[in-house]
Structure 1
Amino acid sequence: MKKKFRKKILGKKNRLRISVFRSNKQIYAQIIDDISSKTLISSSSLEKEVKKNNKVKQSYEVGKLLGFKAKKLNLDKLVFDKGKYLYHGRVKSLVDGIRHTGIKI
């Protein structure tokens, strides 16, 4: 399933990919340029800017932090790669935080 989805989004020159990893306690997100195979920006719930709330609120703040970092690099359109995770709960909250900053996904 993951390979089928990534096949559609990999290699897009005009859009970068947001990859997410969710563990039991933390959430990590990064913006990846697949053409040059480099991570441009990363953010996680371990950063000092993220307040220690419940996990859903932390995910929202991680998304906002990632969105503000992307705005500094003038990135406005991104593709979201949810990987093996369902789109609800913390993953949805992360995307809502990114969209809050004005980035289109």
Structure 2
Amino acid sequence: MVIPPPVRPPRIIEFLKPYVLKMHFTNKFVHAQVVHTPTATVAASASSQEKGLRSTMEITRDVAAAAKIGKILGERLLMKNIPAVSVFLKREQKYHGKIKAVIDNVRGAGVKLL
């Protein structure tokens, strides 16, 4: 008599949202990156600290800078064929101001938010 192997539940990686948008704001700069969670690697990132962007912005820490970073990040995601990301907000972050500017411009570039 042959005993069949046990049926395994599906792997948890299939239920994870693989790409997560994370944002960080300092007193001088705005940083945003998309992390591929199963491999813990950065898929795309944009920052107002980059040399090419710093010269085009007057102020690197306000809402306008955050909007520009969101638009650039959205374009970089589409170039890497990443159509959708989920948003990770820390407990103290609310959908307001710089955070709203980054998220809305990533969405405006054509990336779906989960």
Q: Settle same-fold status: TM greater than 0.5.
A: yes
1:49 aligns with 2:53: yes
Give the equivalent residue in structure 2 for 1:7.
Answer: none
Number of aligned residues: 94
Q: Looking at CA atoms only, which structure, 1 or 2, has the larger radius of gyration?
A: 2
SS of residue matched to 2:96? coil
Give the equivalent residue in structure 2 for 1:58.
Answer: 65
Stretches of structure 2 that go unaligned for 5 or more consecutive residues are 1-14
Give the equivalent residue in structure 2 for 1:97.
Answer: 105
Letter in 2 for 1:39: V
The TM-score, its normalising length taken from structure 1, stands at 0.81
Alpha-carbon shift at residue 53 of structure 1 (Å): 4.0
Give the equivalent residue in structure 1 for 2:25.
Answer: 22
Deviations 1:30-77 (A, max 9, x none): 110110111111111112236324510100000011000000111111
Aligned partners of 2:109, 2:68: CA distance in 1, in Å? 11
Stretches of structure 1 that go unaligned for 5 or more consecutive residues are 1-10
Give the equivalent residue in structure 2 for 1:40.
Answer: 43
Runs of 4+ in 1 over 4 A off after TM superposition: none
The TM-score, its normalising length taken from structure 2, stands at 0.75
RMSD: 1.6
Aligned partners of 1:82, 1:90: CA distance in 2, in Å? 12
- Name which structure has the greater RCO, CA cutoff 8 Å, separation 6+: 1
